[in-house]
Amino acid sequence: MIFGRADLVFLHAPSVYDFRKHSILYGPVSDLVPSTPVFEMYPIGFTTMAEYLERHGLRVRILNLAVRMLTDDEFDPEPLIAALNPAAFGIDLHWLPHAHGALAIAEMVKRHHPHTPVIFGGFSSTYYHEELIRYPYVDYVVRGDSAEEPLRQLMSHLTGMRGAPALKDIPNLTWRDREGEAHTNPLTYRPDNLDHVMLDYRYVVRAAARDLDLGSYVPFKDWMDYPIMAALSCRGCTQSCVICGGSAAAFKEMHGRTRPAFRRPEMLAADVRRSADMSRGPVFVLGDLRQAGPNYALRFFNSVRGFKGPVILELFSPASREFLQQAADALSNFTLEVSLESHDPVVRHAFGKPYGNEPMERTIADALDVGARRLDVFFMSGLPQQTAESVMGTIDYCEDLLRRFGQDGRLAPFISPLAPFLDPGSRAFENPDEHGYRLFAHTLEEHRRRLVAPSWKYVLNYETRWMTRDQLVDVTYAAGRRLNQVKAQYGLVAAAQAQITEQRIDRAVALMAEIDRLMVQTTPAEFSLEMARLKEEVDQVNMSTVCEKRELEVGVSGPKLRYSQVAQMLIQDTLHAMGRRLLSPWRRLQPVYVSQDS
Ligand code: B12
Ligand code: SF4
């Protein structure tokens, strides 16, 4: 139900539309993020753009179609889309794994609303803007990592606001004119800091209450159970990991950015504190705080000092004891996330992280010593210079780390494959030979088609000089199985849970083999029938594969959402709005009195 017409409706599509009908073994592609393989999480930017546009007098609604489809088998997006009547629709194609779903939703929107503009945005839209604008159901692409202001200008144009710019004058815009000719405006809007946006979850709750539609605003399926919030320290990155489409090199090429845009540390601290008004869940501070120099982290810690809730910080490289002590002094409940990628410094070097094991081991020891509540260490398969043997060597190293630092259960290692795609815009995607990658897909359309392949082996857009995709798939499951056993041994996973995970891995491996067999031994018609028969089983192994998603959760005690504070905020809003309405006749007179007095 929607009260009042929205000027802009943001739609977040599932990775594949309609995943409920397709039988696809997605594999462990999303084990280490809060989302399921449907990638139901919408970009943080939906919130910042919506808040920014509303601040400028436009009405915005967010519809997370992916979550609605995941949580309700009966939910059909089509009648809902048909019933909407905004001035424009905005669809994110931020993550490339949404290529199928985002385009399918755009096509559906255009079918029902042929005259309503469809706007795309996000990293993948930026990368593929020229290809995207050729789809008949895409009218505009807002490029870049900071779309708030260009989108405001576009919406003011589309809603006929006074003083709105002409299309050709809107920065970062790719558009088609009436004759169908595509235009690419220069990418000139690139704010050098992040202080103009508000990442405020209270906005989401208020908007959900206003539209009486909490289900459409929920960021990911299990968010109500685990209301993790994000605080964004920057847009961009100082590192240049070769497989990353958000690296310094990728930002330079795609967004013309030579340094990240940082949020003022005091504002970041306020963002963290504000999150606690709503939830007891952890606040994940995105981006290594040391990127903007030591003074930045110190200012943040000084501002946030005394905050009692769980906070997750990330480290891109080894940290000094002094930094870790500052974190511990300011935050009584902090978790650290570090990505070592591999136990082998040669692989890590080829990945773009030129440090050895010793400095990171020292960091781990120091972090635990100063009182980190927990320390998650991430590794990956599918990297340059990495063989299958090397991946298994990484698991030996995990065991070694646990033996040395993991006796009290605070250290938790994880491994996942680089999947489903090597990021477009990353150094490895742009120069595959140089980094030892062989690409199976280049264009947006090629990626869109791969997403409906029957298993993640065929969705993968790459293999490496050191591992074919068969080897990559096999070793990912083997490593997952071994790490699961090691974790059970160290008490990180309960024995019963470890057994369930092991059985799920075994089932996934057997299903992968079965799908491979069907692909060579059946006709296309038989294949479809067989895959339909396997669907239920495939769906069961799709939800967490090589580890249980819950292993990533930091402990939260008591009710996770602060319902009384949320209710209080909403009551205050309502009283405020009523007061405004009651006062409005007086307000209209007020300027007269003011001018007479002065
Ligand atoms: C934080 C982060 C996450 C968070 C997501 C938080 C969130 N909800 O946005 C978590 C950890 C959950 C995550 C998960 C994933 N991530 Co991630 N993530 C990042 C990271 C580190 C920072 C992103 C960031 O700064 N965002 C802030 C800004 C830039 O984006 P934004 O505010 O959301 O959106 C702005 C613009 O992009 C644009 N925009 C976005 N959508 C739209 C839509 C419209 C209509 C318009 C007009 C504009 C627009 O306007 C916004 C406002 O200015 C980047 C790496 C990097 N350094 O950038 C990777 C990155 C974006 N992630 C990436 C990937 C691949 C993933 C996963 C698919 C990984 C996986 N296999 O599990 C999942 C997808 C999860 C899902 N959707 O369910 C790739 C994307 C490459 C690509 N082109 O596909 C990146 C570049 C690098 C990487 N490999 O990690 N990620
Ligand atoms: S993977 Fe590397 S380049 Fe990408 S966001 Fe993380 S630290 Fe930055």
pLDDT tens-digit series, residues 192-209: 999 999 988 788 888 888
Is residue 242 in contact with ligand 2, taking CB distance under 6 Å? no
Q: Is residue 218 part of a domain?
A: no
Query: Could you tell me if residue 212 is inside a domain?
Result: no
Segment 537-543 long-range contacts (CB within 8 Å, at least 24 positions apart): 537/507, 537/511, 538/23, 538/24, 538/25, 538/511, 540/504, 540/507, 541/25, 541/504, 541/507, 541/508, 541/511, 542/24, 542/25, 542/26, 542/36, 542/37, 543/36, 543/37
Using pLDDT thresholds of 50, 70 and 90, give the confidence band for residue 577: low
Tokens 């202080």 belong to 195
Which of 116, 123, 196, 542 is the pocket-test mutation for ligand 1 (most atoms within 8 Å of CB)? 123
Ligand 1, atom 54: nearest CA belongs to which residue?
A: 246
282 Cβ partners below 8 Å, 6+ apart?
Answer: 228, 229, 309, 310, 311, 312, 335, 554, 556
Give the lowest-confidence range in 306-310, 469-473, 576-580. 576-580
Ligand nearest to the CA of 233: 1
Q: Are residues 152 and 242 in the same domain?
A: no
The response to whether residue 541 sits with its C-beta less than 6 Å from ligand 1 reads: no
What average pLDDT does the segment 286-309 reach? 97
pLDDT band at 212 (very low <50, low <70, confident <90, very high): confident
> Can you tell me the mean pLDDT for 545-560?
72
Lowest mean pLDDT of 259-273, 299-313, 386-400, 564-578, name the range. 564-578
Which of 184, 216, 243 is the C-terminal boundary of a domain? 184
Peptide bond into 524 cis (omega under 30): no
CA of 45 to the centre of ligand 1 (A): 9
CATH number of the domain within which 440 lies: 3.80.30.20
Q: Is 557 a domain residue?
A: no
Q: Is residue 215 part of a domain?
A: no
pLDDT of 576 reads: 66
Same domain, 595 and 462: no
Q: How many domains does the chain have?
A: 3
Whether the pLDDT of residue 248 is over 90: the answer is yes
Whether residue 206 lies inside any domain: the answer is no
Residue-number span of the structural domain to which 30 is assigned: 8-184
Q: Per-residue confidence at 556, pLDDT binned at 50, 70, 90? A: low
Structure tokens, 108: 């559906």
User: In terms of domains, do 321 and 433 share one?
Assistant: yes
